[in-house]
Amino acid sequence: MSTEMKTDSGQTTNRPEDMSTKNSLLILAGIFITSAVAMFYVYLMFPELDESEKEHLRIPWDIEDAKLLGLVLDRYKDRYYFEVMFGIILVYIFLQTFAIPGSLFLSILSGFLFNFPAALILVCFCSALGATLCYLLSQLAGRRLVRRFLPERAALWSQQIDKHRGNLLSYMLFLRMTPFLPNWFINLVAPVIGVPLFPFAFGTFFGVAPPSVIAIQAGKTLHTMTSSSDAFSWTSVTRVPPVPPTTKICKIHYPKMCESNIINQLPAIARAAAQGKQIP
């Protein structure tokens, strides 16, 4: 196993591994268990619920779960506004920190429960903080795991990072706005290949805003949704105003992509996906 790694300056250096894979897993498991116990404590401190409501107080894994949870929380939101919001924030950060699926449904749920500005700030804050904690965990104990389980993908992305080191903030904004790389992959691999924390965190906070706007807008019609794909239906997309900075960033820093007409094809791709047709 190679011990080469990229420094923040882009140079390759040799260094001994910080810890074994076993120790890395033990540290991550310990942090996860501690966080899970803290989450359970928050659950116990939540306002008293009816027995029929308690069964719906869980992390939503699909739209139906989000609907049922939304109905329960909506009943308590007026009397326990900050408790409900604080609970959603903690769960959102927990999911992001440990790269657990489900944050999309919490974004939709936030749009259902709160007004638009509050929901957008909540989602951007939780996404940025959770991603930053995941970054720090990977920096602490994830280097060996990334090199063992994701060596080829990490090496390929490292090459792209080297090409954009002069404008990493814009590059992180672009990655968060688009689905080219999974968020969990970005969070885990970024510290290993030398992405500094500042452009990572700020790029995440502002970059997740455009897709979050769509999810929050969809939350206003949570009762009528039948699947998570409805959140990104063509109807939802057309309700959201365009985001000029996305196009500007693309034209300035990624002219080849713009010249290939990918950006201009996005509306057709979204329409085809919403209608279940083959993507052009």
User: Distance between CA atoms of 94 and 117, rounded to whole angstroms?
Assistant: 22
Please give the single-letter amino acid code of residue 157.
Answer: W
Residue 78 has pLDDT above 70, yes or no: yes
User: Distance between CA atoms of 262 and 257, rounded to whole angstroms?
Assistant: 6
* Structure tokens that stand for 182 in this block: 């999974």
H or E element, residue 14: strand 12-14
Query: Looking at per-residue confidence, does 48 or 269 come out higher?
Result: 48
> What does the pLDDT read at residue 159?
92
* pLDDT tens per residue across span 224-235: 665 555 544 534
Largest CA distance in the chain: 59
> What does the pLDDT read at residue 243?
44
Predicted model pTM: 0.74
- Angle 276-278-280 from CA coordinates, rounded to 5°: 130
> What does the pLDDT read at residue 263?
43
H helices present in the chain, as ranges: 21-44, 51-54, 63-77, 81-97, 103-113, 116-141, 143-149, 151-163, 168-177, 183-189, 197-207, 209-219, 234-239, 244-253, 255-259, 262-274
What DSSP string describes 61-99?
-SHHHHHHHHHHHHHHHTTSHHHHHHHHHHHHHHHHHTT
* pLDDT tens per residue across span 16-72: 444 577 777 888 888 889 888 888 887 787 777 777 788 888 888 888 888 889 988
* pLDDT tens per residue across span 200-239: 999 999 999 999 999 998 888 876 665 555 544 534 444 4
Percent of the chain at pLDDT exceeding 70: 72
User: Distance between CA atoms of 45 and 98, rounded to whole angstroms?
Assistant: 23
Show me where the domains of the chain are located: 19-228
> What does the pLDDT read at residue 135?
94
Residue 253 has pLDDT above 70, yes or no: no
Residue 247 has pLDDT above 80, yes or no: no
* pLDDT tens per residue across span 135-190: 999 988 888 888 888 899 999 999 999 999 999 999 999 999 988 889 999 999 99
> What does the pLDDT read at residue 83?
87
Residue 261 has pLDDT above 80, yes or no: no
Range in 109-118, 147-156, 264-273 the model is least confident about: 264-273
